[in-house]
Amino acid sequence: MKSINKVKQDLTVKGETIERLYINYVEDKYTVNRRYQRKLVWGIEEKKAFIDSISKKFPVPIILLAENIKSQSIEIIDGMQRLNAIFSFIEGEITLDNKYFDLESIASTKQLLDTGVLKQNLPKLDRAECVKITAYEVPMSIFEYSSDTDVDEVFRRINSGGRKLSRQELRAAGSLDDFSTATRKISASIRGDSSHSDILPLNKMKLISVASKDLGYGIDVDSVFWVSQGVLSKEEVRQSLDEQTIADILAYVISHEKPGSRSEYLDDYFGLRDTEASIKRFNEVNLLTRKIGIENLNDNFLKIIDTIVQASKKSGLALTAILFGQDAQPKAPRVFQIVFLALYEIIINNNMRVKSIDGLIEKLKKHGPKIQPQEGGRWGAEHRKDQVERLKKLILKEFIHNEESDPIESHWESKLNNLLTQSKTEQASYDFKQGFLELESPYKFDVKSLEKILKTCAGIANLDINAKGYVIVGISDSEETTERIKSIHGIESYEQNGFYINGIDHEATKANKTIDQYYQNIVDKIRQSPLDKTLKDHICRNIKCINYKEKSLIVFEVAAQEDPSLYNDELYIREGASIRKLAQNEFPNIYKRFARQ
């Protein structure tokens, strides 16, 4: 359970000019802990209103920061949206009185303008006005901390007094237990805004924030599963009802004795209550989550989400429209729960797969109106279980048992979308290659390309003792490369999140092999390579051929080994999007990263 300790901190209250704040921002000094932050950022009008207040020298709310005594990093506790609005204005994403910030007003932006990092938008705001804005002092409160529990407690206290956070956000605030972590990670995977790490520089947050389309960056809220499938509204996602729904479902799927659905139980799962029954419930869900594993649960949930998305795409209808007709309004998440849980029990618990997606769609259309969850604040265990069992029986004939192991893995659409998003905030841990064939005649197998891929794998594994990453083949990040592949092989690509999905099916065809044979040929070449045996064995055990929108991709899954991994007796490290061979005198620093305490 969450313990409440008295937080004693050195507190500093001061004003900081916007120019100074921007310098810190550019230098990556402000970090964001994603456990605390909302899922939706301010819209353009909200940002403009805040900048207007500053330009008129109105007082603005204090920003609360926490400085880690050990690392000197500064974590934003309260005020991320305000800081983001300030920096959006300075970098020309929004206007004041329909005019853009003059980048030549201050030295830091002029340097970025001169080096091509920033671009001046027109018309420009009067320079004197820009200088006045950057001289504005924003009130800041900074406290030092040495333990994460201190930050958790401060966050809970500043947000529990009013209505700043929803009930679910308060449950999750500062909760680091297995169940709450699983809920948060699964929810992020389904929304598509997961990140490689929970701690991100503020200037990377916008790349993965769920936002309105008019902001021009991040993940469009209308495309998020919950909204696009008509399960929740945008505002309900803002209030974390998606995470509340996932927590409710998660408790059901991991529990042997199926629980009812009620707010008090959700409080217990997150450790908010101290009764004997509450503590027992808290311990049980955390033990069960730990036994199954967060990654396994995440993969299981995404398989069900991908099945629903597949049905939606095939029918051209959102889930709620499949169930209740095209004029259906967003339904309570309890209807979604029944559909999800029925599919989960069939696909995961019974180890089955869809035999006929068209048949499944028709069954859902026919029986959707029969789904009748209980209304009100409490949903009885037996009623929920009965509704799940009824739907399960009605759709079961559209599934068959998974009796054979298929080397080509499906249900990867959501997972791959998340990896593409994660790569934007942690380049060093991800790499994408267009394929294994050369793009110049005679288009033969590129031995050097495979060699570079394996060096990249070693470089990722050497980042630190807990490193994990992916190299995915069949994806290009260049439109020029994609057009080249199209001109050579006559294939069409999918654009996804700024990447181009080409696949490697055309390569297998050119080699006169099936995709299974081509995949096995790659594995054989890896086994013959001079990559360190431990990492090589790990890659060969975990390499996958996945199916994404009818395109086959090869996924190299990389993880740090007990010691640094060498390629041909040489040590490589991944730096940003590049790999670098280390000199002998640099070896000790890498080996120190793997020294176990």
End-to-end CA distance of the chain: 28
Query: How large a percentage of the chain has pLDDT more than 90?
Result: 73
Question: CA 201, 205, 209: angle at the middle one, nearest 5?
Answer: 165
pLDDT tens string 172-231: 876 779 999 999 999 999 999 988 888 889 988 888 888 766 666 778 889 999 999 999
CB atoms within 10 A of CB 252: 20
pLDDT tens string 151-164: 777 776 776 554 46
Query: Could you tell me the domains of the chain?
Result: 11-163 (no CATH), 222-401 (no CATH), 424-595 (3.30.950)
DSSP H or E stretch at residue 392: helix 381-395
The pLDDT of 43-51, averaged and rounded, is 93
Nearest-10 crossing angle of helices 381-395, 357-367: 130
Q: What is the mean pLDDT of the chain?
A: 91
Q: State the DSSP string of 466-516.
A: T-EEEEEESEES-HHHHHHHHHHH----EEETTEEE--SHHHHHHTT--HH
Contact 481, 555 (CB under 8 A): no
Cα 180 from Cα 266, distance rounded (Å):
10
Query: How large a percentage of the chain has pLDDT more than 70?
Result: 92
Q: Give the confidence band of 2 by pLDDT, cuts at 50, 70, 90.
A: very low
430-433 vs 199-201, strand pairing mode: unpaired
Contact 510, 496 (CB under 8 A): no
3-state SS class at 7: coil
pLDDT tens string 307-366: 999 999 999 999 999 999 877 666 678 999 999 999 999 999 999 999 999 999 999 999
Residue of 397, 298, 295, 311 whose CA lies nearest to 346: 397
pLDDT tens string 229-247: 999 998 898 888 999 999 9
Tokens of 534: 């431990």
